[in-house]
A and B are shown apart, each in its own frame.
Chain A
């Protein structure tokens, strides 16, 4: 595989080596905020993803964690170009996805599939399981006659642990865990290289979650899949991922191997996040010290200047934090952190302090932007 893609395109972080399947370079997704019915002015942007670099190696599981609104789902969609990125590019197996158009992109999509969070709303209630699975095969020209396809469907179902009789059934006849298995079978049907799983188990009951987590791991071993798993549950992510990236407000704040990250979180946000997770063991719960964050996640439409986390950070310093946005840099081998003071915090030279909760403006554009134009069609016609 050649590393060079479109001529003249700059490669800021060119580690597109042979074992990298996907590399995301400086990707940004900004959604415009519109006001007014007729004028339709753009009054601001939601900076959902604001400059993320990451690479996923062949055969590994990369976990993306963060709280709601941090942009992890948008990032996952932008990688597949389900949402068009505002800037940056995604290189998939040596091909720059942003250079692909129409049919080329459609063909490429065979190799990267998605498993969605809510198996009920991502499966068509009026399609039988057979029809759901065959649709992808047909679209990519993999339907090679009745017999071959029938065999393929049986292999798929047994791979995800569903009975053969499921083919004639409809999604509502299955339980949540089984529906998620159908969603996984649909993704597997077209023999992809990469599967992006967006909250694959969060809609499921605890006892069923473990079944699906185990299934994902088995399938990876069997088919040599590469996963990008997006989830808010850090315990699940730690369990299945080789490497983990932590997102906060549109950017990666820390990236490390799963074991390193959980053994020694370096970014203040990761520390707080890890300490907030309840552990099902009263002895641990009674002993551990929690880093309680004050306040809420700031609005991604109006992100704080400098480090995005400085408004809630217990380790915030007087300088740099609120003026200079920290780069993701390698502090320990293979352990990247976006914090100016990571070394000092690690050494214990900086102690955490109290943080005053800051009021969060919901859209971040209300005070200074006047509402111009009519608020509704009626108002526009009868001023």
Chain B
């Protein structure tokens, strides 16, 4: 049994007078201890809502969450609030995209780190402060004891993100969800944070769910990748296979539209035409069909089902991209 089993997770936003909107549509995936699973997609594909649903952070009113999220066999979605609170922060923790808006601006960093320790590990304040300094040191914040008494605005963006990771790691959670943890940061700082996350997964055996739009980040960090489009997983594969032979036209298009540092210059980029606003609802066919270069007539009539195409790969497409011809079996 996997550490986290997400089955048919569906989130529908409802409001009186408007049509219900399905942000996440039957998303399923597993995460094993020490494994990094990526959720990739563009804005509006439902990747952040998935993470909020797993953490139970969606509002009870307005958002209808169905399916199941099994964490060590316990369904988090049906767990009473009080028990969920005991687990959140202790067993599963989250790192958000914007560190400034997820830290409380009027409370010193030290208090925000020790809060978790006091709540979940019943540590007295003094002992927790020592532990907090250790945590800040571990995530690479210089002079941690001094930083404990400082406020979030006194820290740089990279330092804030580190502080946030320190808070998330305070109770040594078994699952860490990182929602675009490096998007607000510069590349050199991004490299530092990614190296840190990699090290943590390796050293502590933490399972990591990495949510990002950056395929470069995925290539370096994730073991398994789920590509989301319009709230559904359209392709799922091990990272080497995904990048070597993307089968879904969307994944293929994404990879073709990124200028690469190691590719020869001067060639034109191959963008995906149109934008997310051209999507058709999944109930009527394939949401990606209006933008798809491989579109068939069947694509706008029949909703493609998720199929197992072997090698642990899942694909949701009527007319997938042909795999490149490989002369020899590569590693």
Contact = CB atoms under 8 A, between A and B. Distances in A.
Contacts of A206: 42, 213, 215, 254, 257-258
Contacts of A205: 42-43, 213, 275-276
Interface stretch (B65-73, B74-82, B90-98, B151-159): B151-159
B271 A238 contact: no
B191 A281 contact: no
Interface residues of B, number: 50
A236 B259 contact: yes
A43 B231 CA distance: 52
Interface in A101-139: none
Given A207-B254, A214-B271, A278 B158 contact: no
Interface stretch (A27-35, A49-57, A92-100, A268-276): A268-276
B110 to A, nearest CB: 16
Given A209-B257, A280-B258, A357-B140, A292 B195 contact: yes
Q: Is the interface of A mostly helix, strand, loop or mixed?
A: helix
A30 B201 CA distance: 44
Given A296-B158, A359-B143, A213 B269 contact: yes
Interface stretch (B203-211, B217-225, B312-320): B217-225
B190 interface: yes
Interface size grouping (class) on chain A: 35 or more
A42 B275 CA distance: 48
Nearest to A275: B191
Contact of A214 (B192, B255, B268, B277): B268
B133 to A, nearest CB: 15
Q: Is the interface of B mostly helix, strand, loop or mixed?
A: helix
A312 to B, nearest CB: 9
B265 interface: yes
A281 B262 contact: yes
A282 B277 CA distance: 31
A359 B154 CA distance: 11
Given A208-B275, A211-B271, A362-B154, A282 B243 contact: yes
Given A281-B219, A282-B240, 20 more contacts: A67-B186, A67-B188, A176-B275, A178-B275, A207-B271, A208-B275, A214-B271, A262-B265, A273-B187, A275-B191, A276-B191, A278-B190, A279-B220, A280-B243, A297-B156, A297-B186, A357-B140, A358-B142, A360-B156, A362-B153
Interface of B: 42-43, 140, 142-143, 153-154, 156, 158-159, 186-192, 194-195, 213-220, 239-240, 243-244, 253-255, 257-262, 265, 268-273, 275-277
28 contacts: A175-B277, A177-B275, A205-B275, A206-B254, A207-B42, A209-B271, A210-B272, A213-B269, A234-B261, A235-B259, A236-B259, A238-B259, A239-B259, A272-B188, A278-B217, A279-B216, A279-B219, A280-B216, A281-B262, A285-B216, A292-B188, A292-B195, A294-B192, A295-B142, A296-B156, A357-B140, A359-B142, A362-B156
